[in-house]
Structure 1
Amino acid sequence: MSERLGFIGLGIMGRPMALNLLKAGYELHVHARREASMRPLADAGALTCASAADVAQRADVIFTMVSDTPDVEAVILGDQGIIQGARPGSVVIDMSTISASATRRIAAQLGEQGVAMLDAPVSGGEAGAIAGTLSIMVGGSEAAFERVLPLLRVMGKRIVHIGESGAGQVCKSCNQIVVGATIAGVAEAVLLAQSAGVDPARVREALLGGFASSRVLEVHGRRMIEDDFEPGFKARLHQKDMRIVGEAAAELGLCLPSAAMISQYLNALVGQGLGDLDSSAIAKVLRALADPESLV
């Protein structure tokens, strides 16, 4: 285990991902904005650091897992950011979901100092982070990818090098369109069954055996039927991801109507103060179109 690792961002996803690296026997240096977030990692044997720059000084490979593009920019390029401490030859792996164009700008600035950057957003939610079975979509140089692949395999099951810098983030945007559109489709199916007086659980059971089967139908269909929207992936974070999709579509001059509709469902959820529910609570928005009293 020659690589010394750093991990910045220890929230609902970052904490279990970092713990898996520790369990695999790697030396791990961690930093988070709140000391309480670092405590479980410190208890498991990680070394805590005062800043992102401090992490970068101590580590050969530095992971980041934070909320949005400005957070990544601050963590990597800020006054106490990774760029202030990273040595030539080190690798930064950003596993957040952010703008592809911002990723390319950050990678270029790190590259000027001899630091490689990979964008490696993930899919699979908290359960996948805990189990180490995430899908990881990677952009950046082939050489850097091959170097860190053993580390990514600790956290993920399906790991694909998509292409050059920013390609991983583009892939994640594609993922969020497909997931959001499928959630909306499952929510419409559940609503139709319920409104017609047909048992939606039986409908889901039947559909799982046919071409309509999907992980979304399996997991989120159950959530909708049981009205259980405890977050695996919060609606406000999916809203942020769809904002990134919209920005990319505007940059490229694309019409993505399904993505726009998903954004509106999520805007409605967040606007009603329900942004901390799972994004499958899109079902609540559809119910409210039929029964306005049902949203809250």
Structure 2
Amino acid sequence: MNAVPRKVAVIGLGIMGLPMAVNLLKAGHPVTGFNRSQGKIDQLVSAGGVGASGTAEAVKDADVIITMVPDSPDIEAVVSGPDGVFANARKGAYWVDCSTIRPDVSVQLAAAARKAGIKALDAPVSGGETGAIEGNLSIMVGGETADVEAVRPVLEAIGSTVVHVGPSGSGQTVKATNQLIVAGTIELLAEALVFLEAHSVDTQAAIKVLAGGLAGSRVLDRKAASMIARKFEPGFRVDLHHKDLGIVTAAAREAGVAIPLGAMAAQLMGAVRAQGHGSLDHSALMLLVERLSGRSAS
């Protein structure tokens, strides 16, 4: 059964935001979008959406407002001020932040949203560009139970796994955990591939058998082939994962939790970024492993 259409505003039509908006349109929800670059707005309009000249115009009539921007300062800028979400959204609207930001900032902004009469949820996503295009993102949601259930039909238009994980900020905490696991897994996959190649093993065959055992993972399924081919077109950029691992290490320090392998993964991500690979996919960690192994072309 199709959900009742909700007027949705999407702020941030990047690698993730645009395909999410398109899937909302496919599910029957009217979508108005805004992005800093006009080209992305034009793509939304071509898909059947409506373009807005700014955040204020995009959100004024929306039932649900989805934000998808890179970092904590970006979301603070989008929601605050006379042209922001809080000043222009109608009372009772739902604000769903799908960005990945610091959990403490998420809690603070949720409180500010409530003061403005807006119901706030933090709902970061996992699955990368492929998941956004296919509409099968995993969405971890923090906020009030009633609010989560009210927007669930909208979230299910963009994600196949939608789980309420706790109060405001909980979604961001779970996303930080996700980024920790993904970074560590990509690094180990990179090391494994370089190791296999050094021993002249058929890497395609090796990956096939590894995927069928305990070493199998979504990362292996989605990243191994492109890593073997040395194709690092960004599904999720090194720059963004570097930012996310900064969130992880800061939150772990605040909670007094030791993450020795996570801290190493953060340093390695920072190193590959420092080598000029920030715009590549995070699987470009393989370039660093090759360089450390003395096997890189450069």
Q: State if a TM-score over 0.5 links the two structures.
A: yes
Cα displacement (A) at 1:91:
0.6
Is residue 183 of structure 2 the alignment partner of residue 174 of structure 1? Answer: no
Q: Distance in 2 between matches of 1:130 and 1:42?
A: 17
Query: Which residue in 1 is equivalent to 2:57?
Result: 54
Larger deviation: 83-92 or 142-151?
83-92
Of residues 4, 22, 26, the one that matches 1:23 is 26
TM-score (norm 2): 0.95
Alignment size in residue pairs: 295
- SS of structure 1 residue aligned to 2:250: helix
Query: Which residue in 2 is equivalent to 1:199?
Result: 202
Cα displacement (A) at 1:216:
1.2
Alpha-carbon distance change, 40 to 250 in structure 1, aligned in 2, over 3 angstroms: same
Query: Which residue in 2 is equivalent to 1:135?
Result: 138
Q: Distance in 2 between matches of 1:120 and 1:197?
A: 44
Query: Which residue in 2 is equivalent to 1:255?
Result: 258
After TM superposition, list the pairs within 5 Å mapping 1:83-122 onto structure 2: 83-122=86-125
Query: Which residue in 2 is equivalent to 1:266?
Result: 269
Is residue 80 of structure 2 the alignment partner of residue 71 of structure 1? Answer: no
Opposite residue 290 of structure 1, the aligned amino acid is S
> Is the 2:12–2:35 contact (alpha carbons within 8 Å) kept by the matching residues of 1?
yes
- SS of structure 1 residue aligned to 2:48: coil
> Is the 2:59–2:89 contact (alpha carbons within 8 Å) kept by the matching residues of 1?
yes
Cα displacement (A) at 1:3:
2.4
Of residues 218, 227, 239, the one that matches 1:236 is 239
Seq. identity, %: 43
Is residue 127 of structure 2 the alignment partner of residue 124 of structure 1? Answer: yes
What are structure 2's unaligned runs of at least 5 residues? none
Query: Which residue in 2 is equivalent to 1:159?
Result: 162
Opposite residue 236 of structure 2, the aligned amino acid is F
Larger deviation: 150-159 or 40-49?
40-49
Query: Which residue in 1 is equivalent to 2:284?
Result: 281
TM-score (norm 1): 0.96
Cα displacement (A) at 1:212:
0.8
Opposite residue 15 of structure 2, the aligned amino acid is I
> Is the 2:176–2:248 contact (alpha carbons within 8 Å) kept by the matching residues of 1?
yes
Alpha-carbon distance change, 44 to 226 in structure 1, aligned in 2, over 3 angstroms: closer
Is residue 46 of structure 2 the alignment partner of residue 43 of structure 1? Answer: yes
Q: Distance in 1 between matches of 2:222 and 2:59?
A: 38
Is residue 219 of structure 2 the alignment partner of residue 216 of structure 1? Answer: yes
- SS of structure 2 residue aligned to 1:6: strand
Opposite residue 79 of structure 1, the aligned amino acid is P
Is residue 187 of structure 2 the alignment partner of residue 184 of structure 1? Answer: yes
Query: Which residue in 2 is equivalent to 1:7?
Result: 10
Cα displacement (A) at 1:2:
4.8
- SS of structure 1 residue aligned to 2:53: coil
- SS of structure 1 residue aligned to 2:19: helix
Root mean square deviation, CA, Å: 1.4
Opposite residue 20 of structure 1, the aligned amino acid is N
Cα displacement (A) at 1:283:
1.1
> Is the 1:53–1:83 contact (alpha carbons within 8 Å) kept by the matching residues of 2?
no
Q: Distance in 2 between matches of 1:182 and 1:2?
A: 39
Q: Distance in 2 between matches of 1:194 and 1:45?
A: 47
- SS of structure 2 residue aligned to 1:92: strand
